[in-house]
Structure 1
Amino acid sequence: MPDTVDPGRSVPSPLVTVILPAKDAGPYIATTLETLTRQFPDAGALQLVAIDDGSSDGTGAIMRRYAERLPRAEVLVNSEPRGLATARNQGLTRVEGDAFCFVDGDDWMQAGRLAVLRRRLDDLGVDFVRTDHVTVRDGRRSLVRAPYPWRERSASPREAILPDDETTMVDYPFAWAGLFHRRVLDAGLAAFPEGLFTAEDRPWIWRLHLQAGSFAVVDAPALLYRRGVATSLTQIRDRRQLDFARALTQVIDLVESDPEAERFLPKAVRTALALSAHHLVRSRRMTPALRAEMRASVTALLGRLPRGDVSAALGNLSGPRRRVLARSLRQSGHGA
């Protein structure tokens, strides 16, 4: 727990606040927390805000055990699960100092990663930095590169949204793949949409790139991301997956309200079509009732998309994706 200090003595702010939400991450979270103790030579440079989001296992107890080892740490407890977006937002209200980041309870990072990221954030003077990451599945590791060609230099986040027919930084929505200056928080760009249980990072990354002032992709010790974890929402096929359509509708709303909407809408529409096709394929393993709900959600989303941009984007989609979307496109009034 925090050390007792002389109230008359100034206490330096932490270099980085780490926001760590988790639910039922007992098999993994000790590894995550252990790596946080290896980020700075001085443990007081790191502030930990851990959120036990309604866990039914020992996640909270492990969080509290590690919080005792850190001079700046607290554990927030939600009696019922509130979802990743809400839990991250709870952590944002506790940020001290000038920099913060996110980490999930089944991931971990190499020693010294946050020290490097804080130095690069300061040296480049940007609003946020982004990094590559390493996926881990069944013991095999694969490097996933941030989809931006320039490294170690300040750039405009808006320019990293395009081109619309290539993978870009808005297709790399992983909140844990970087570090953020407090300016992002103060400008209202750090919070996640409340009430979304999946795809909450899609509106988040679009708002960040549309409205932040500067960013950079930098090299740093790796963050390692576990794939195939049974409790991950990417592995669970229940009603929470329907939130992707609401998330993409929020993306379209964001882009349409931007002064350069015509410039960015083709990219947003292409993303909505591609993700709709992906979720329609995944829905084949859902119950018939839930599959029908998914199709209705996709149809409503497609009906929200500008007709001209849909027609242009369909020409760049693969044949299998167009076939998956055909029925929903017809029902939404676009035809196919």
Structure 2
Amino acid sequence: MVSGVVTESTRTPLLSFVVPVYGVEAYLYQCLESILGGLTGDDSDAIELVAVDDASPDRCGEMLESYAAGRPNVRVVRLTRNVGLGLARNAGLEQARGRYVWFVDSDDWLPPGAVTTVLARLRRDEPDVLLLDHLRVHENGRLEVDASSHLLRGVPDPVTLDERPELLRVQHTAWNKVVRRDFLDELDLRFHPGWYEDIPFSHPLLIGAERISVLDQVCYRYRQGRLGAITSTRSGRHFDAFAQYERLFEWVDTHHPDPELRATLFTLMISHYLVVVGNDDRLHPHLRRAFFRRVAEHYRRFLPPEGYPQPDGVPGLKHRLVGRNSYLAYVALRRAHRMAGRLRGQRAAPAPAGADPAAGREVAEQSTALAGQG
């Protein structure tokens, strides 16, 4: 599968960047330069970049070879066939020599100063896992703070998950975590094939870590809405999430069979499924019912005997509808909730001619009736 590695080196850097590359020639240079550009000599010597050409169909392979030429801290791994994001990360990890590894997606990029800041924190804390903050960047340039970013506040020193259990609710991606390489090997963690590969990888990192360091600074820019991105692609492959959560619970049952931890993960799982099933950019309407049925199946299968902490409000109502496998009620709630959102957005504007003043009352009545079913 691996056809070759360009630019060999025998040094041991502090930090290896592993960058899987596929179909991103418009964004690739920005990503690479955001990692290596503007570094001092000491910081440059402390890192390496391992880029994995996952049989990219565009010019990415040529761009990587050109970029690596004359740069001893850039290495290129070429795969002979496309294997997907998770397995491409594994291929890069096998070639990485750093004490720490940071998985950066090639359509994203790092803000100026991020690498220097991360290196300083790794030297200071020597953590198992370093958690980073990020910003979502939309195609129109709009910046969005992640809903979980506030959980990174006020953690100046390394902690465990027992001391800060809310950290398990930080976005479960690989790219917002810098991980000690030996710790990965101790947990025997690698990425699985398929979409949503971060699920059985990221949660175990925090569960198993004895030293979690938290960097309350934006060190990553997460591109939104790119054509071809998983989160912007309607596909049946979103059903891969079910197998990934099954792997996660199998790992937890084997390594950390704690009822409270399992209940927290159950809440996160159902909430994540509801994000997917309600997103028009991910699921075609004709797949929504089947996906919902699978969510209900996992609800019954993994429901903790002692119960679990349900969200408040509409999210909690959706959880209850999943528990009852009430797809039609879920559809009605989803429709009513969206209609209410549109009406709220129209309040600042004059009502269009012929608008039905009873529409708002109908939405409220639907929501109230559904809430009564909970």
Note the aligned Cα RMSD (angstroms): 2.8
Name which of 188, 194, 197 aligns with 2:195: 197
Secondary structure of the residue aligned to 2:193 is: coil
Give the gaps of 5 or more residues in structure 2: 1-5, 328-372
In 2: Cα distance, 1:297 partner to 1:247 partner: 13
Residues 206-215 or 61-70, more deviating: 61-70
Q: Could you say if the C-alpha distance between residues 273 and 178 of structure 1 is closer, same or farther in structure 2, counting changes exceeding 3 Å? A: closer
Residue 32 of structure 2 is matched in structure 1 by 33
| Matching residue's letter, 2:159 | A
Give the gaps of 5 or more residues in structure 1: 6-10, 163-167
Tell me, yes or no, if the aligned pair for 2:129 and 2:206 is still in contact at 8 Å: no
Tell me, yes or no, if the aligned pair for 1:16 and 1:100 is still in contact at 8 Å: yes
| Matching residue's letter, 1:110 | P
Secondary structure of the residue aligned to 1:325 is: helix
Residue 359 of structure 2 is matched in structure 1 by none
Residue 272 of structure 1 is matched in structure 2 by 269
Deviation at 1:327, TM superposition (A): 5.4
In 1: Cα distance, 2:251 partner to 2:15 partner: 29
Residue 103 of structure 2 is matched in structure 1 by 102
Q: How many residues align?
A: 317
Q: Could you say if the C-alpha distance between residues 221 and 207 of structure 1 is closer, same or farther in structure 2, counting changes exceeding 3 Å? A: closer
Secondary structure of the residue aligned to 1:218 is: strand
Deviation at 1:285, TM superposition (A): 4.5
Residue 87 of structure 1 is matched in structure 2 by 88
Deviation at 1:189, TM superposition (A): 5.2
Q: Could you say if the C-alpha distance between residues 174 and 315 of structure 1 is closer, same or farther in structure 2, counting changes exceeding 3 Å? A: closer
Where do residues 214-233 of structure 1 align in structure 2 (5 Å cutoff)? 214-220=211-217, 222-233=219-230
Q: Which has the higher contact order (CA 8 A, sep 6+)?
A: 1
Tell me, yes or no, if the aligned pair for 2:23 and 2:57 is still in contact at 8 Å: yes
Q: Could you say if the C-alpha distance between residues 229 and 152 of structure 1 is closer, same or farther in structure 2, counting changes exceeding 3 Å? A: same
Secondary structure of the residue aligned to 1:17 is: strand
Residue 305 of structure 1 is matched in structure 2 by 302
Name which of 153, 156, 163 aligns with 2:157: 153
Residue 57 of structure 2 is matched in structure 1 by 56
Listed one character per residue, the Cα deviations across residues 64-87 of structure 1 (whole Å, up to 9, x for unaligned) are 221114212222223332121111
In 2: Cα distance, 1:315 partner to 1:154 partner: 29
In 1: Cα distance, 2:156 partner to 2:325 partner: 43
Deviation at 1:190, TM superposition (A): 4.6
Secondary structure of the residue aligned to 1:104 is: coil
In 1: Cα distance, 2:254 partner to 2:290 partner: 28
Residue 353 of structure 2 is matched in structure 1 by none
Higher helix content, 1 or 2: 2
Residue 178 of structure 1 is matched in structure 2 by 177
Residue 46 of structure 1 is matched in structure 2 by 47
| Matching residue's letter, 2:261 | F
Secondary structure of the residue aligned to 2:266 is: helix
Tell me, yes or no, if the aligned pair for 2:299 and 2:323 is still in contact at 8 Å: no
Residue 131 of structure 1 is matched in structure 2 by 132
TM-score w.r.t. the length of structure 1 is: 0.83
Residue 121 of structure 1 is matched in structure 2 by 122
| Matching residue's letter, 1:151 | V
Larger radius of gyration: 2
Residue 142 of structure 2 is matched in structure 1 by 140
Tell me, yes or no, if the aligned pair for 2:277 and 2:283 is still in contact at 8 Å: no
Deviation at 1:88, TM superposition (A): 0.9
Residue 360 of structure 2 is matched in structure 1 by none
Listed one character per residue, the Cα deviations across residues 238-267 of structure 1 (whole Å, up to 9, x for unaligned) are 122111111222222233334452121211
Q: Could you say if the C-alpha distance between residues 320 and 220 of structure 1 is closer, same or farther in structure 2, counting changes exceeding 3 Å? A: closer
Deviation at 1:227, TM superposition (A): 0.9
In 1: Cα distance, 2:257 partner to 2:163 partner: 12
In 1: Cα distance, 2:183 partner to 2:304 partner: 34
In 1: Cα distance, 2:311 partner to 2:120 partner: 44
Tell me, yes or no, if the aligned pair for 1:132 and 1:146 is still in contact at 8 Å: no
In 2: Cα distance, 1:126 partner to 1:323 partner: 39
Q: Could you say if the C-alpha distance between residues 114 and 178 of structure 1 is closer, same or farther in structure 2, counting changes exceeding 3 Å? A: farther
Deviation at 1:313, TM superposition (A): 4.0
Tell me, yes or no, if the aligned pair for 1:24 and 1:57 is still in contact at 8 Å: yes
| Matching residue's letter, 2:94 | T
